[in-house]
Structure 1
Amino acid sequence: MATTQGSRRVFIGLILLSIVLVLLVISPFFEAFFLAAVLAGAFFGMQTWLTKRLWGRSGLAAGIISLGIVLALLVPLAALTAFIVSQVIEGVNFISTLIQQRGLEGLLAYVPGPFKDSAARMLERFQSGSAGMWQTLQEQLSARGAVAAQTVGGVVAATGSMIFQAVMMLIALYFLLVDGKRLVEWLESVSPLKRGQTTELLTEFRRVTRSVLVSTLATAGVQAVAALVGYLITGVPVPIFFAAVTFFFALIPAVGAAAVCVAAALVLLATGHPVAAIVLAAWGIIVVGLSDNVIKPLLAKRGMHMHGVIVFFALLGGLSVFGPIGLLLGPLSVAFFLAVVRIYERDYGRPSARPGDPATPPQALPPVERGEGWEPSRTTVEGPEERHSH
């Protein structure tokens, strides 16, 4: 007959096995579920407020928030894509019209001065050996066709995977907004921790993720404004468009806002403005690029119980270990460690002295030297005869 202790050990083993199986099942959707949990925590206050305004319809409130997130992502991307496509079409029409009216030589009038000689030599070689060049180009395209097809297939697969993860994230976000409170209550009830400790940890996570999200968006906005100042000073064409692109690229850790400034500097260099290009490149790398490492930790630490330097290294360390999602996982890992240590010190550590508590008895002091000799101190324990004599 099995003992109670043996049954408990077996049951603990079954619990650990079930946890491993659940982690394996959700591993393909880890990033989607993690981002959904982060967004659900960040929009918890708005979900509560909307639910009250909609007479307790939590599902409708969650749907409105999810739709708002979709529109906040798709509308700017659609606007930027439409602008880029319109500019490309306009440029192609301009070049085709110019070639029809003035031939290939007409393009040389729009080439910047330092590049005119090189462009003229290239045009002359192209015209003299155009047949051979076209044949060579066709041969190269045929030889590289398989590699190009494989590359395009990889891009399409990555895009499809990103869209799939985004859809899974939105579905998980909706249900977390609707039933997130009950989920937290269930975790509190089944957690082996003391009552309230699980909720405290989850609250700390929500505070950290909200601080990171707000600081990321605010930093991207500051970088976009700083870049816009550089674009206006150096005369970049369509500066508002480049500022909008800078904002979105600032949200991508692997690229950053400085890349857009450098690209705009190359545009200035290609159009014959070398001084402005150098100024813009320096402005983008020094001011726009490095401001991310200064502003984001300063803004993020306001919602975290940690020093700004710790936030800085948590952001960089998480980014290097976990990739882009490490901007959240890094601070969360450090916050989890600090919260666990703080809860342990408060609930299990040495009790601190409080006002009104009996004072700790002083240690026995060494005898004090008098004029005639040594006299025992008042803290010396008295024997039984001495107590009776008193």
Structure 2
Amino acid sequence: MIQTLFPRILYLLAILAGVLLLRGNPTTLFLAACFACLSLPIYRRFVHAAFRRRRKLLQHPPGLVRHLRLRINERSPLAAYVLLVISAVTVPIATLVLLVSPQVAGGLVRLRELRENNFQMPADWVERFRALEAKLSAYPGLESTYRETVQNINKTLSDSMGLLINRGFDVLGGTMNALWCLVLFVILTIIFALYGRRVALITSRVLQMPLAMLYRFVSAFRRALRGIMLGIILVAMVQGVLCGIGFAVAGINQPAFWGLLAAVVAPIPFVGTALVWLPLCISLWFTGKTMAAVGLALWGTLAVAGVDNVLRPLFLRQGIKAPFFVLVLAILCGLTSFGPVGLVMGPVLLAFAKQALEEAHRFYV
């Protein structure tokens, strides 16, 4: 008993030391673990390719050239994986900085103007909404629901702007913190990938879980993360590009900024990109650009929302075998509990719960 308990205590102490070191960066730690889990098969392909090259190199005559090529080949999997991780971080940031940053200042000014001017609605329309609020005051339940809906929309827009400006690649302030998070993300991802088998072995020993069961959990996580990557992140990017195209055609200034904002709010269930393109349609309508407003509304309803309604359920249900409304509920609960990282955390926890139920069911079959 002591022979098995003492090593587990040592493992737990090692885990505790790691938790204490990284407790100030839980989001970075979680995202690095997710990306390592998702990209681990790619790293193993690099390793297998290097192993095949080594077998061919060993057939060459001995000498300095073969020795150097063997040393380079030995380090090539790690170098290729590091380049992959760095590219996955830097390419989106570079795209954001080059394409969107020049339009951020003008877009923020325009957003404030629209909100302060009630999206340029005529004065009589504003009075009608105020009269509606006065009538709803006679029905406390309806009035509170109306006010909560308006407040939630404003809060969503404010949170989206905060995520876009304050938590993004902020070149004016917080740059060192953002840079540190990026460096830590890259380092942790590489460590998790390099020592993946050892981490799995330690986890199996601490939890007294068979390795086969643990690998099934990892496979479930990987499928869920692949579904999240395609169904949430990729679809949001596609919707942002489509919105940007629609905004440019409609003659809206700073279309890249508005497209990025649409991509940020796209994962929010039920409303998504409509939080961006619908107010812009209203603004175009009340400034006399009727055709542009109607065209943008049709584009947002048919093209942008169509991508969301078709591709998102398809990708998510391929990654997590669950009803779509359950997936939506997991995303909403994740956003409520964990903030923006809940977009990933919610479906991952759902995949964990589903796999845990399947593993428990195996004992009774």
Cα distance between partner residues in 2 of 1:251 and 1:75: 21
- Going from structure 1 to structure 2, the CA distance change for 1:80 and 1:263 (only over 3 Å counts) comes to farther
- Going from structure 1 to structure 2, the CA distance change for 1:12 and 1:178 (only over 3 Å counts) comes to closer
Deviation by residue 1:199-236 (Cα, 9 ceiling, x = unmatched): 22122112211211121233124423553564466454
Q: What is the match of residue 74 of structure 1?
A: 93
**SS of the residue 1:28 aligns to:** coil
Match of 2:346 among 315, 318, 330: 330
**Matched ranges for 1:246-285 at <5 A:** 248-250=263-265, 256-262=272-278, 264-265=280-281, 268=284, 272-274=288-290, 276-277=292-293, 280=296, 284=300
Q: What is the match of residue 47 of structure 1?
A: 43
Match status 1:215 vs 2:242: no
Greater relative contact order structure (CA < 8 Å, 6+ sep): 2
Deviation by residue 1:165-223 (Cα, 9 ceiling, x = unmatched): 22211221122233323332443354411241122212211221121112123312442
Match status 1:175 vs 2:194: no
Cα distance between partner residues in 2 of 1:329 and 1:319: 9
The residue type paired with residue 41 of structure 1 is C
Cα distance between partner residues in 1 of 2:18 and 2:186: 21
Instruction: Report the CA distance between 1:342 and its aligned residue.
Output: 0.9
Q: What is the match of residue 145 of structure 1?
A: none
**SS of the residue 2:322 aligns to:** coil
Q: What is the match of residue 318 of structure 1?
A: 334
The residue type paired with residue 94 of structure 2 is V
Contact 2:37 2:218 in 1 (8 A): no
**Matched ranges for 1:162-201 at <5 A:** 162-201=178-217
Overall identity of the aligned pairs, in %? 24
The residue type paired with residue 229 of structure 2 is L
Contact 1:219 1:292 in 2 (8 A): yes
Greater share of helix: 2
The structure with the larger Rg is 1
TM-score by length of 1: 0.58
Q: What is the match of residue 373 of structure 1?
A: none
Match status 1:65 vs 2:80: no
Cα distance between partner residues in 2 of 1:86 and 1:304: 40
Q: How many residue pairs are counted as aligned between the two chains?
A: 284
Deviation by residue 1:270-308 (Cα, 9 ceiling, x = unmatched): 864255336635764787469647642332110223222
Contact 2:32 2:186 in 1 (8 A): yes
Cα distance between partner residues in 1 of 2:287 and 2:194: 54
The answer for unaligned runs of 5 or more in structure 2 is 51-72, 108-119, 124-164
**SS of the residue 1:196 aligns to:** helix
Q: What is the match of residue 128 of structure 1?
A: none
Instruction: Report the CA distance between 1:343 and its aligned residue.
Output: 1.2
Match status 1:30 vs 2:26: yes
Instruction: Report the CA distance between 1:329 and its aligned residue.
Output: 1.3
Contact 1:262 1:281 in 2 (8 A): yes
Deviation by residue 1:133-183 (Cα, 9 ceiling, x = unmatched): xxxxxxxxxxxxxxxxxxx99986655434332221122112223332333
Cα distance between partner residues in 1 of 2:14 and 2:276: 48
Cα distance between partner residues in 2 of 1:15 and 1:47: 26
Q: What is the match of residue 204 of structure 1?
A: 220
Match of 2:321 among 305, 318, 322: 305
Contact 1:245 1:260 in 2 (8 A): no
Cα distance between partner residues in 2 of 1:74 and 1:80: 10
Q: CA RMSD in A?
A: 4.2
Moved more, 7-16 or 66-75: 7-16
Cα distance between partner residues in 1 of 2:31 and 2:284: 39
The answer for unaligned runs of 5 or more in structure 1 is 89-111, 116-151, 351-390
Moved more, 31-40 or 152-161: 152-161
The residue type paired with residue 230 of structure 2 is V
Cα distance between partner residues in 2 of 1:209 and 1:243: 27
Instruction: Report the CA distance between 1:39 and its aligned residue.
Output: 1.0
Cα distance between partner residues in 2 of 1:262 and 1:159: 33
**SS of the residue 1:305 aligns to:** coil
Deviation by residue 1:301-325 (Cα, 9 ceiling, x = unmatched): 1022322222221112211221111
Instruction: Report the CA distance between 1:15 and its aligned residue.
Output: 7.0
